[in-house]
Amino acid sequence: MSDNMNDIDIFNETDSILIKKTLVNGKIKDIFVSDTGIIEEISDKYSGEYGEPEFIIDGESTVASPGFSNTHTHSAMTLLRGYADDMHLQEWLSEKIWPLEAHLSAEDVYNGTMLASIEMIRSGTIAFNDMYFFMEEAARAVYDSGIKAVLCHGFIDFGNEEKREAEIKATEKLCEHIKSMNNPRIKAAVGPHAPYTVSKEGLLWCSAYSKENDIGIHIHLSETEQEVKDCIEQNNKRPSKVLDECGCLSKRTVAAHGCWLDDSECELLGKIGVFVAHNPVSNMKLAVNRAMPYQKLIDSGVNVTLGTDGCSSNNNLDILEEMKTAALLQKFFWNSDTVLPAHETLKMATSAGKKALGFGEGELKTGAEADIVLINTKTPCMTPLFNWESNIVYSANSNAVDTVICNGRVLMHDGFIPNEEEICKKASDSAYSLVKRYNDSL
């Protein structure tokens, strides 16, 4: 797919790039990307107006799509992939996940986030929304991998004031750190974990802090029936209402899951302009028993996006798989063969996702940031090519992802990511060492 196949420099620079003869919305086009990472021209044949490109990518037999955004994950949980599956939720959390997480180090989070970043790049993801801890290390991994991310410290106080003070400090520290990095690819958010794990005082602080610092909020909302029931019992109102009263809902809020939202909540979220991230794989694996009410959310004006959730409830970060599972789950659960068609699914992963993270509009057009995925149409799963959107959503797998460009920088080309093997090795070592430390502590 490249005239520069062996030219490793293609990964290191933000030189100008000309993609020749790729399919953009069904038509063969050239795309010129400037050295500042902007799409300067999309035309039948590059005009030469912006100078000679430093790199040329042969886009023949590829479809160009806007890059994908993963709007809900806990990326360093890649280290826990396959550590415990097929268990009852509470047992799984309290006996497997939490005890292991208690031994996680900052270095582990760096290695796990590096692994997550390259795994996401492999399926065409150019940005993600992350909630975990040791997030300064996650920021370092995002910087090193070249991807974009919105990072938040998972804020949990369980109504405990001391814990809350610690979470406030951790949040402030992360936000200041990211501010000091001054890198447009890396943003901070406030991460109140969920209405059932954060006190009203905590939620109010998060809301005020996000407004003061003009940053987003990333939160879990209505994943399980039980948490909704508990919320109603304790507050006499549903979770969205609780969040709204604490000021946590705005056009800068990404709420993950939303499986158990009722109609009134969908309308509230739509009125405010909240983004709701659908995580179908995780929801199915954890048997949450209801699918997000996608059509009601859309009809209420909500921007619905896609997320993979963390690896321990998925167990991968493959956004192509997530698109397909979303389109399937909506059809199956809501008993409709026409709900969530391919075109809308792709929108969730592209324009809606990028808007949710504040990284732009997620469309291939001149003047936009060059976040571009080239998908190889000569692979079996993309053959024939009657409908490029349907093929991406329903039949493509990451095998077909050829090239990923983020902010004008090539992160993967011809299926090759620099240092991939070394990153996997370091993450493996971290994961096995983590389990050893845990076992030694018993």
Per CB under 8 A, residues contacting its own copies are: 78-79, 81-83, 85-89, 92, 115, 118-119, 122, 281, 283-289, 311, 314-316, 318, 321, 324-325, 327-329, 331-332, 334-338, 341-342, 378-381, 383-387, 390-391, 394-399, 420-421, 423-425, 427-428, 431-432, 435
Distance CA 392, CA 381 (A): 9
By beta-carbon proximity to its own copies, the closer residue of 39 and 281 is: 281
Q: Which one-letter amino acid corresponds to residue 414?
A: D
Q: Which is nearer to its own copies, 302 or 346 (CB)?
A: 346
Q: Are 353 and 371 in contact (CB under 8 A)?
A: no
Task: Judge whether 278 is annotated as a binding position.
Answer: no
Reading the block at residue 47, the tokens are 């005009």
Minimum CB–partner distance for residue 424 and its own copies (Å): 4
Q: Judging by DSSP bridges, how do beta strands 401-406 and 372-376 pair with one another?
A: antiparallel
Chain-centre distance for alpha carbon 331: 23
Q: Which is nearer to its own copies, 300 or 330 (CB)?
A: 330
DSSP character for 397? -
User: Least distance in Å: CB of 19 to its own copies?
Assistant: 20
- Residues paired with residue 127 on neighbouring β-strands, in sequence order: 69, 148
Q: C-beta of 68: minimal distance to its own copies in Å?
A: 15
DSSP-H helix ranges across 160-292: 161-181, 200-213, 225-235, 239-245, 263-272, 280-285
- Give least dist CB 312 to its own copies, A: 10
For residues 162 and 337, which CB has a smaller minimum distance to its own copies in the complex? 337
Q: Would you say how long the chain is, in residues?
A: 442
Q: Is 263 annotated as a binding residue?
A: no
Residue 207's contacts (CB-CB under 8 Å, 6 or more residues apart) are 217, 246, 247, 248
Name which of 199 and 312 has its Cβ closer to its own copies.
312
Give least dist CB 259 to its own copies, A. 10
Q: Is 88 helix (H, G, I), strand (E, B) or coil?
A: coil
Q: Are 312 and 98 in contact (CB under 8 A)?
A: no
| Apex 352 CA angle, 248 and 383, nearest 5 | 150
Collapsing DSSP states into helix, strand and coil, what is residue 339? Answer: coil
Residue 74 among known ligand-binding residues: yes
- Annotated binding residue 165: no
Q: How far apart are CA 204 and CA 93, in angstroms?
A: 28
Task: Check whether 220 is labelled as a binding-site residue.
Answer: yes
CB of 207 to its own copies, least distance (A): 33
From the CB of 97, what's the least distance to its own copies, in Å?
13
CA-to-CA distance for 417 and 439, rounded, in angstroms?
34
Q: Would you say 14 or 419 has its CB closer to its own copies?
A: 419
| Comparison of 367 and 384: residue with beta carbon closer to its own copies | 384
Whether residue 233 is annotated as binding a ligand: the answer is no
Q: Which residues are annotated as a binding site for substrate?
A: 101, 193, 223, 309
Q: Which residues are annotated as a binding site for Zn(2+)?
A: 72, 74, 220, 309
